[in-house]
Amino acid sequence: MASTPKASTDVPSIAAEAVLAKSDFDSTNATVVKGYDFNNGIDHHALLSSYATCGFSATKFGLAVQEIIRMINKKLEVPVEDITDFNSHTNRRLSNCTIFLGLTSNLVSCGVRETIRYLVEHNMVDCLVVTAGGIEEDFIKCLGNSYIGAFNLSGKELRKKGVNRVGNMLVPNDNYVKFENWLMPILDQMLEEQNSQGMKWTPSKVIHRLGKEINDKSSIYYWCYQNNIPVFSPALTDGSIGDMLYFHSHKTSGLVLDIVEDVRKMNNQAVTAKHSGMIILGGGLVKHHVSNANLMRNGADFSVNVNTGQEFDGSDSGAPPDEAVSWGKIKMDATPVKLCADASFAFPLIVAETFARYQQQFDQRLEKEKSLPKKTA
């Protein structure tokens, strides 16, 4: 009887070559993946700093922080007392880096409003671009509160009760009635100034005026008024303000808003910028309006996008930064970052790691600027 052949103990060469392939990788300058060690105690700055080496979206968070710090350092590297040039359209001093902040209205509806207010209160950014809801919701919150609800509350039942749902937040419709009562007399006065003084109103001038009239330090646009930060909202009629303008036109027609003057003002703010940085929260109008203004200077030097848009449908909202490079909206040698995340939790953390850590420098700069000569005609 023939003996059974002894089974080979050798691993098949094809399997060994596939599984045990040698690496051709130089790790000399590579970053090691490593997260935060809670054995070191609770240190939130160290925790957020560790995101850069954590991988996945955490690393994108870290890159976004690094990009914004580059904007800030570029802005602060020239002392304010050495800046003698002004933007002729905004009357702001031309800092070494003009920072554009674009945001969608939902971020003012939620608690990120207070983060945005902090940035403009300390004069940390140079220009805001906001959709209409992000204008009116700021003023409405000065007149009445919003409340935490739930995403799954019945729209039918809420409508019966006169309560509006914004995601998982609730806004009593009475707040909009208060807003109308506050806004209508101001619109009357604006029309009077247009007719008697030849005032040419634009969306940014309207927002500037409303920031003055609200006289409330909790307001984003109060601080934009105080620090002369222009706010552009080319679709200002697309919200409750548009409703009020519609109602006002039935009462007294004739109020005119010029959007062409505003686009000239914003584009020239980009054109005259020595360096330019874009921070864009969300997509749609604000993303394109900020980016397109920077096209006029052949691209921003720095850019951070925070949104959840994807590029498969060809939308501008979901387009990655490299697409903007192809249009000349971001410079070819820039290091732009897109963080795919909900800005309601990501952006306050970003600010904690960037602007908030430079508050003393910004405050000293703002105080120094107040003592300097204003622009002369």
| Residues annotated as catalytic (active site), given as ranges | 329
170 token code pair? 């609730």
Backbone angles phi, psi at 337, to 5 degrees: -130, 135
Helix H or strand E segment including 256: none
Query: Do 75 and 97 contact (CB within 8 A), yes or no?
Result: yes
DSSP string, 158-195: HHHTTEEEETTEEEETHHHHHHHHHHHHHHHHHHHHHH
CA distance 237 to 221: 17
CA distance 173 to 175: 5
Query: Do 120 and 222 contact (CB within 8 A), yes or no?
Result: no
CA distance 230 to 76: 20
Contact partners, residue 75, CB within 8 Å, separation at least 6: 95, 96, 97, 99, 275, 277
In DSSP terms, which residues pair with 278 in a beta bridge? Answer: 100, 303
Contact partners, residue 184, CB within 8 Å, separation at least 6: 244, 247, 248, 251
